[in-house]
């Protein structure tokens, strides 16, 4: 039977139920149910075990100047996480903990970052520190329990989740996570009971509906699975994995047209997830729609390459070349804005090694006829050792500005002798002739004819 994807306790600060600081990021389950159309998602790469909106710990005094300073550090750390700057976020959180060793929230935030970066010993130490500081806060036990689950520590995870539920019998996320542990052990009946309790605690908890649907699917109860996936989408109409799972169910039931519709709905909401194209391609093939299947296959290849490049960026965020490679890939897909953003990241990361980034951005400014910005980027490229390519491009900028003298100087340095250069000589020659500088005009028009005889001819005049 085809599998599908359960979802973790809550996609922290990414789904509607979480309104707190955006300090956590998505986690991937170690449970991978590999099937056609349901492979692992490269966008979910080992992130930390989030735990919902952060709250002040029970019993802590807050509101004083020192607490406000610590809160400010935590807020700054959250923003750095959003910006992809985990290193600075860790430094800020460490400073917050240094100022307030009793701040469980800061420990858990830092643990999430460590978990994402696969620094498991540090992550576990920080989750445990938060629990030592606030042993009666169910949220922290739930966070550590989920983290342990993602690392294959099933028994330890269950102990934490049981303890969280003992502290808060209506803690929907903890029931949901305990259900996921059951799913990992293929204990679907137990999983369904836990998802039931999560839904009882929070009837609008889309994740629990989706995960219970998964458990029903794996138990071959397709009617109940479909009803749960439907309800997950009632709770959250933008829940892409519920669309994905319902599409898988429909594929299993040979309802290929509706499977295509569900995949398309997922793609509308998350167009860079290759999983949905892979699944829709399978449905198109079953329908005999080879043209559409081929198009989805081509898109799948592009997205897989994009994810590979994104992993390279994540592994070397201070290297210009990784951003430049991804920018090229984005540019080839017509994503000019995203490509420009990556070129800027390359320039920021290594200004002296970002020649291609400067030149690519200069080409963008040239196309937009923003000559001053283009000139600035060409000059920066030359300072970084741009060579002939930079001279050539700067010559085009000077052409755009109508500065024929400087354009020709740059084209000469670039050793460029094409029709663009020919026209530049012809333009300058016409100006010389209009000003009565006959010798200079003749020389320029002669050079234009030498470079492009078909266009400018022996007479030195441009042909219509």
Tens of pLDDT along the chain (464 residues)?
A: 333 445 443 332 234 343 222 222 222 222 222 222 222 333 333 333 333 333 333 345 555 667 789 999 999 999 999 988 899 999 999 999 999 999 999 999 999 999 999 999 999 999 999 999 999 999 999 999 999 999 999 999 999 999 999 999 999 999 999 999 999 999 999 999 999 999 999 999 999 999 999 999 999 999 999 999 999 999 999 999 999 999 999 999 999 999 999 999 999 999 999 999 999 999 999 999 999 999 999 999 999 999 999 999 988 988 999 999 999 999 889 898 999 999 999 999 998 888 989 999 999 899 889 999 999 999 999 999 999 999 999 999 999 999 999 999 999 999 999 999 999 999 999 999 999 999 999 999 999 999 999 998 765 455 44
Are 237 and 361 contained in the same domain? Answer: no
Tokens 């609008």 belong to which residue?
Answer: 204
Q: What does the angle CA 175 – CA 177 – CA 178 come to, to the nearest 5 degrees?
A: 65
Q: Tell me whether residue 187 is in a domain.
A: yes
Q: Which tokens sit at 123?
A: 């992550």
Answer yes or no: is 140 within a domain: yes
Looking at the structure, tell me whether residues 219 and 362 fall in a common domain: no
Residue 246 and residue 332 in one domain:
no
Is the CB of residue 172 less than 8 Å from the CB of residue 140? no
The answer to whether residues 209 and 327 belong to one domain is no
- Give the C-alpha separation, 261 to 256, whole Å: 9
Assigned domain for 424 exists:
no
Residue 258 lies inside a defined structural domain of this protein: no
For residues 212 and 328, membership in a common domain is answered with no
CA distances from 64 to 60, 165, 177, 216, 389 (A): 11, 32, 36, 51, 59
Is residue 441 in a domain? no
Domain that holds residue 205: 65-253
Domain boundary among 416, 433, 452: 416
Residues 324 and 407 in one domain: yes
DSSP sequence for 70-132: HHHHHHHHHHHHHTT-HHHHHHHHHHHHHH-TT-HHHHHHHHHHHHHTT-HHHHHHHHHHHHH
**Whole-number pLDDT of residue 62:** 54
Residue 294 domain flag: no
Same structural domain for residues 113 and 232?
yes
Residues 233 and 95 reside in one and the same domain: yes
Contact yes or no for 213/193 (Cβ under 8 A) = no
CATH, residue 178? 1.25.40.10
Which two three-digit tokens encode residue 45? 């790469």
Look at the chain and report how many structural domains it folds into.
Answer: 2
**Pick from 233, 253, 273: which residue ends a domain?**
253
Among residues 225, 253, 281, the one where a domain terminates is: 253
Check if the beta carbon of residue 50 is closer than 8 Å to that of residue 13: yes
Asked if 356 and 239 sit in the same domain, the reply is no
Long-range own/partner contacts, residues 457-463 (CB < 8 A, 24 or more apart): 460/429, 462/423, 462/426
Asked if 232 and 337 sit in the same domain, the reply is: no
- Domain assignment present for residue 332? The answer is yes
**d(C-alpha 239, C-alpha 124), whole Å:** 30
Spatial CB neighbours of 115, under 8 Å, sequence gap ≥ 6 = 27, 46, 47, 48, 49, 123, 147, 150
369 and 248 share a domain?
A: no
Whether residues 151 and 246 share a domain: the answer is yes
- 310 located within any domain: no
Give percent helix, percent strand, percent coil of the chain, each to the nearest 5: 70, 0, 30
Q: For the chain, give the secondary structure using H, E and C.
A: CCCCCCCCCCCCCCCCCCCCCCCCCCCCCCCCCCCCCCCCCCCCCCCCCCCCCCCCCCCCCCCCHHHHHHHHHHHHHHHHHHCCCHHHHHHHHHHHHHHCCCCHHHHHHHHHHHHHCCCHHHHHHHHHHHHHHCCCCHHHHHHHHHHHHHCCCHHHHHHHHHHHHHHCCCCHHHHHHHHHHHHHCCCHHHHHHHHHHHHHHCCCCHHHHHHHHHHHHHCCCHHHHHHHHHHHHHHCCCCHHHHHHHHHHHHHCCCHHHHHHHHHHHHHHCCCCHHHHHHHHHHHHHHCCHHHHHHHHHHHHHHHHHHHHHHHHHHCCCCHHHHHHHHHHHHHCCCHHHHHHHHHHHHHHCHHHCHHHHHHHHHHHHHCCCHHHHHHHHHHHHHCCCCHHHHHHHHHHHHHCCCHHHHHHHHHHHCCCCHHHHHHHHHHHHHHHHCCCHHHHHHHHHHHHHHCHHHHCCCCCCCC
């Amino acid at each position: 039977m085809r599998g599908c994807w359960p979802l973790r306790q809550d996609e922290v600060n990414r789904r509607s139920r979480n309104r707190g600081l955006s300090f956590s990021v998505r986690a991937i389950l170690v449970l991978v149910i590999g099937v056609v159309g349901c492979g692992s998602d490269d966008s979910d790469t080992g992130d930390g075990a989030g735990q919902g909106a952060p709250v002040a710990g029970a019993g802590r005094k807050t509101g004083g100047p020192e607490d406000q300073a610590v809160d400010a550090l935590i807020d700054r750390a959250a923003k750095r996480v959003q910006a992809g700057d985990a290193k600075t976020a860790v430094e800020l959180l460490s400073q917050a903990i240094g100022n307030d060793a009793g701040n469980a929230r800061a420990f858990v935030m830092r643990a999430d970052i460590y978990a994402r970066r696969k620094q498991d010993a540090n992550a576990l130490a920080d989750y445990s520190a938060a629990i030592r500081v606030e042993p009666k806060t169910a949220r922290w036990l739930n966070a550590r329990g989920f983290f342990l689950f993602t690392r294959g520590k099933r028994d330890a995870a269950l102990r934490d989740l049981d303890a969280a539920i003992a502290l808060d019998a209506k803690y929907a996320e903890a029931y949901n996570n305990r259900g996921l542990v059951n799913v990992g052990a293929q204990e679907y009946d137990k999983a369904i009971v836990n998802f039931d309790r999560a839904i009882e605690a929070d009837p609008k908890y889309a994740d629990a509906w989706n995960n219970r649907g998964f458990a029903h699917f794996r138990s071959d109860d397709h009617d109940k699975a479909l009803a749960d996936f439907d309800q997950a989408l009632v709770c959250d109409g933008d829940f892409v994995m519920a669309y994905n799972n319902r599409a898988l169910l429909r594929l299993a039931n040979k309802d290929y047209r509706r499977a295509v519709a569900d995949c398309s709905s997922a793609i509308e909401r998350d167009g860079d997830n290759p999983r949905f194209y892979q699944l829709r391609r399978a449905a198109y093939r079953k329908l005999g729609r080879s043209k559409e299947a081929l198009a989805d296959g081509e898109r799948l290849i592009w997205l897989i390459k994009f994810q590979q490049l994104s992993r390279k960026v994540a592994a070397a965020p201070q290297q210009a070349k990784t951003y430049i490679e991804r920018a090229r890939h984005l540019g080839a897909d017509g994503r000019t804005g995203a490509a420009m953003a990556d070129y800027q990241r390359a320039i920021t990361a290594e200004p002296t090694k970002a020649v291609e980034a400067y030149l690519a951005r200069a080409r963008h400014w040239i196309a937009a006829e923003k000559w001053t910005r283009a000139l600035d980027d060409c000059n920066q490229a030359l300072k970084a050792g741009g060579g002939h390519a930079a001279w050539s491009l700067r010559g085009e900028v000077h052409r755009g500005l109508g500065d024929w003298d400087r354009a020709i100087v740059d084209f000469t340095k670039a050793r460029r002798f094409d029709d663009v250069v020919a026209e530049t000589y012809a333009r300058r020659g016409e100006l010389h002739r209009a000003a009565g500088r006959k010798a200079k005009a003749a020389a320029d028009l002669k050079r234009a004819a030498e470079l492009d005889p078909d266009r400018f001819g022996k007479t030195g005049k441009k042909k219509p």
